[in-house]
Amino acid sequence: MIWRCRNRSIELTRPVVMGILNVTPDSFSDGGRYAHGGAAIDRAAALIAEGASIIDVGGESTRPGASAVDAAVEMERVVPVIERIASRFDVAVSVDTSKPEVMAAAVAAGASIVNDVYALRAPGARSWAASAGVGVCLMHMQGEPRTMQEDPRYDDVVAAVAGFLDAERRLCLAAGIDERAIVLDPGIGFGKRLAHNLTLLRELPRLATLGSPLLVGVSRKNLIGRVLGRGVGDRLYGGLGLAALAVGFGAKIIRTHDAGPTRDAILMASAVMQGAEE
């Protein structure tokens, strides 16, 4: 299984790590820590050394209650960082954005993947992605970041998420995006209560039948705190458990702040599920 991402092909026979690099002042876990260029590049280097196959650079927080950021500000944050990563390291770079103008600037700077919490629903996003040949991640979210956790409700969360992802995948295919360029993300923690999140994780095998690889992000999220009673900085072990479980249930890409421990956990889970050569 291959994820086609512009000038790169990412092998997904074994699960891979997407390392999170937030260059924002207000992200829920590491806001402000890597907002300056030198710290961001050092962090990218550390993620790569720990085994991240992809570095996901974000310039706008999507935590619950986050404020929107102007495209110009977002580009000022992400473009220099992407340029430096792409020029220094042999690694796939993803941009975490929903704005077509930021997508285009990031790809011109060296990114090959667009990770969009709005699933390319902005006007022109799908046609641009098709022409650029980028890899795309389509995520499900009920509502939008500022209000998504106020009162999320579903009759059947798995059916709702599966239906949305299938429909958006089909729209992307109709727009000319290569089938091999698409991965899907159920959006754990985005417009979902604890029970919704746990149900989605348990039912990942149903989502894995939609026809595209699954990306799952659970790193340091609130559901871990709710179950274990842990603060944001003390959720590593819970996240590793969920990452290994997600891979066992069919996920191919795990998005995380903690690349090294996550890589070990998911490769062990994969070895159990798929076997390993002697």
- DSSP for 144-157? -TTTTTSS---SSH
Task: Report the phi/psi class of residue 153: left, alpha or beta, with left for phi > 0 and alpha for psi in -120 to 50.
Answer: beta
**Catalytic one of 77, 252, 255, 263:** 255
**How many Å apart are CA 275 and CA 278, to the nearest integer?**
9
Annotation says 255 is catalytic:
yes
Tokens 């996550």 belong to which residue? 262
Annotation says 63 is catalytic:
no
**Catalytic one of 192, 220, 221, 252:** 221
Beta bridge partners of 18: 54, 255
Per-residue burial over 82-103, b if 16 or more Cβ lie within 10 Å, else e, is bbbbbeebebbbbbbbbbbebb
Question: Edge-to-edge strands of the sheet including 16-22?
Answer: 182-185, 135-139, 113-116, 92-96, 54-58, 16-22, 253-256, 215-217
Active site residues: 221, 255
